[in-house]
Amino acid sequence: MAGDAVYGPRIVFFTGGTALKSLSHALTGRTHNSAHLVTPFDSGGSTAVLRRYIRMPAVGDLRNRLLALADPAVATPPLVALCDLRLADAGEYDTLMQRLYALASERDPAWRGIDPLVADVLRLHLRWFLEFAPPGFDPHGACPGNLLLAGGYLRHGGGLGPVLHLFTRLLRVRGAVVPIVDDDLHLAAELADGTVLLGQHRITGKGVPGITAPVRRLFLTRTRPDGDGQGGDGGPNGPAGQARRAGHDGLIGRNGAGGEERHGADDGSSAPPAEARVPVSGVAVRHIAEADLICFPMGSFYTSVLANLLPEGVGRAVAAAPCPKVYVPNSGTDPEQLGLSVADCAAALLTMLRRDAGAQVPAARLLNTVVVDTRNGVYPGGIDHEGLRAQGVDVLDAPVVRALPGGGAQSAAVAGRHDADAVADLLMGLARPRG
């Protein structure tokens, strides 16, 4: 099996977040050639702390996917624990900084059980971060695993390519993990009621209420949700640090339609964030062109899946790829979907892809198959088979969702999750045979 996996199919995922963690583990036993195109737009949690100080893409989801695909002989529980560690949200600044400096020493007990060579490289990256980070970096809530990637980013003068390449080799990652763009960008969404939300965390509801109306338009912007347009001035006593402690992570105003308009301009301006049109990463385009199958997988629909389709060139690359394209919708509640049917989600995928590929591109070149499980899956907005057929998309009903004990109908709140092995086997079978 391991030998076969080395030559397994090239399955490309448009993804982000942690929804594919189990599937990633399952895939490593079947193919070492999956490519995970990841959204680097996160703006919540420990990632927000880091991005307040360094104008860089978000690295938390990249880190998670690298570890999910890594050789378990390298990514041992102590290494995973170290990379997932979070510093306290409260506490003295000096105490937290001392903890980071202690981690940069081989004497720290956190390094026990980690391969010495791997530990040396990781400590070097942490030292680079401590050397090159902006003065006054606020360590509250920081994730040392993210700081390792940020250290390589800073050491190489910006750009995630070199550090991701190194970590892929170091962790013996069984696949490729690639940001869809290597740029400092954020997500914004205009809702049907006129509300404009700035920041991925506000759209997905991470630590905040989330969306209250369907998404009308999703776009990228260079406007920052924290209201800090410069970077490097967000120390514990600086504007960003003061705003965070006061709870003002971006301002709330009113737009012309009477809805809320939340954005990062703390200079009193009520102008909405400007859309940024940026090209997709060349590395991502190469993976799409070489794919044996392209998958739009389960996960937060707008912030993890559709967000990956925003950069210019993605739709054209998908349309040009001569392989099957498959959508695996969520089972259970996704706060971002607000009751959208599976057919509605497929329509949103096609609309986003055609925005770049061209309005007349047939569905057969963009999305061939939607995989549902009518026995165990729960789709709060319904499936709408007729709506899918009207769009020219085939429906494949397959046992890909775990049945909960007791049987019977399942509610959206407690719906079974996808069976990682079943999904992996299904995608392997749908992939274009390799010549």
pLDDT at 248: 32
Torsion angle (degrees, nearest 10) of CA 401, 404, 410, 412: -70
- The Cα-based distances of 199 to 44, 303, 305, 335, 345 in angstroms read 8, 10, 16, 16, 21
Give the predicted TM-score (pTM) of the model: 0.89
Token reading at 287: 């993976």
CB half-sphere exposure, 101, CA atoms < 13 A:
7
Widest Cα–Cα separation across the chain: 63
Instruction: State the 10-residue block means of pLDDT for the chain, 435 residues long.
Output: 83 92 95 97 86 92 96 95 92 94 96 96 97 90 95 93 96 97 96 94 86 95 73 37 35 31 42 93 98 97 97 98 97 92 98 97 97 95 96 97 76 79 98 83
pLDDT at 61: 95
Residue 31 near residue 121, CB atoms below 8 Å: no
Token reading at 245: 């402690």
Q: For the sheet containing 186-191, what is the strand order?
A: 215-221, 186-191, 196-198, 260-263, 251-254
Token reading at 166: 């190194």
Element (H, E) at 430: helix 420-430
pLDDT at 253: 29
Token reading at 194: 């006129």
Three-state SS for 144?
A: helix
For 247: left if phi > 0, alpha if psi spans -120 to 50, otherwise beta; the answer is: left
pLDDT at 409: 66
Nearest to 366, CA basis, from 381, 379, 385, 353 = 353
- For residue 399, which amino acid is it? P
pLDDT at 169: 96
Query: What is the spatial distance between Cα 295 and Cα 304, in angstroms, rounded to a whole number?
Result: 13
Query: For the domain with range 290-430, which CATH number is right: 3.40.50.10680, 3.90.1150.10, 3.40.50.10300, 3.40.50.261?
Result: 3.40.50.10680
pLDDT at 120: 97
Residue 337 near residue 358, CB atoms below 8 Å: no
Residue 189 near residue 48, CB atoms below 8 Å: no
Handedness of CA 233, 236, 241, 242 (dihedral sign): negative
pLDDT at 2: 58
List phi, psi (to 5°) of 217.
-150, 135
pLDDT at 415: 73
Three-state SS for 369?
A: strand
Domain boundaries of the chain, sorted by first residue: 48-172, 186-263, 290-430
List phi, psi (to 5°) of 254.
-125, 140
Three-state SS for 281?
A: coil
pLDDT at 63: 95
Three-state SS for 225?
A: coil
Q: Cβ atoms within 10 A of the Cβ of 297, count? A: 23
Q: Provide the terminal-to-terminal Cα distance of the chain, rounded to the nearest Å.
A: 19
pLDDT at 414: 65
Residue with tokens 């709506």: 387
Query: What is the spatial distance between Cα 276 and Cα 257, in angstroms, rounded to a whole number?
Result: 23
pLDDT at 229: 42
Residue 216 near residue 190, CB atoms below 8 Å: yes
Q: Cβ atoms within 10 A of the Cβ of 420, count? A: 18
DSSP 151-192: HHHHHTTS-SHHHHHHHHHHTT-SSEEEES--S--EEEEEET
Q: Report CA Rg, the chain.
A: 22
